[in-house]
Amino acid sequence: MKLLWVTSEKIGSRLVRWGTDSDCSHFAITFDEDERGHGIVFHSYGSGTQLVWFREFIKNYQIIHALAPKQNLTLFEEERVYRNILDSESGLKYDYPALAWWCWRVILAKCFNTPITHENKYENPRMRLCTGIVPAVLNALQIQFPKGVDPEITPPHELYHILRDSGEFVLADGFAEHMNVIRS
């Protein structure tokens, strides 16, 4: 299981990276991944939360950062995490009102140096942005989500830094580089 921060050449990804001055624009989680690019990915995009084949996912996205749980998970533990995430997140629609609010706050931050707020006023608890699945991931891993952080207003790269610095995850050394070679 890996937590992934990715980017693409699509206009939305380019705008997110420009607006947030970051190297990534999207969050996803992969399960049962192997060195050949097989596995599945769970993320929220377009039509909502969804599962896709990892090989298909990496055709469309370049992996920028990858984290793994600090403690290696057994197959049973990874399956428990996968099931918990599916139970709480599967079938949720994409949160377009929250995305509009997020974009507005990013524009204000980029153009007027106004801080991005600490909450997304338009998020719907039954809808998700890509970063909105992070609490379910942490909950499934029995890791406390940081207090005062709203994942649906926090830019993806900031969530990466929060989780990387939490002490609960380690860098998945070489994973992004290897998978990015496979995608070519």
The enclosing H or E element of 15 equals helix 11-20
117/153 Cα distance (integer angstroms)? 7
Decide: helix, strand or coil at residue 115: coil
- Give the pTM: 0.96
Q: How far apart are the first and last CA of the chain?
A: 22
Q: DSSP H helical segments within 69-125, as ranges?
A: 75-89, 96-112
50/72 Cα distance (integer angstroms)? 25
* Number of Cβ atoms within 10 Å of the Cβ of 75: 8
Return the pLDDT at 6: 98
Return the pLDDT at 184: 72
Query: 19, 9, 28: which is closest to 155 by C-alpha?
Result: 19
Each residue's pLDDT, cut to its tens digit, for the chain (184 residues) gives 999 999 999 999 999 999 999 999 999 999 999 999 999 999 999 999 999 999 999 999 999 999 999 999 998 999 999 999 999 999 999 999 999 999 999 999 999 999 888 889 899 999 999 999 999 999 999 999 888 899 999 999 999 999 999 999 999 999 999 999 998 7
Q: Indicate the domain borders of the chain.
A: 2-183
Q: Which CATH number fits domain 2-183: 3.90.1720.10, 3.90.1150.10, 3.40.140.10, 3.40.50.720?
A: 3.90.1720.10
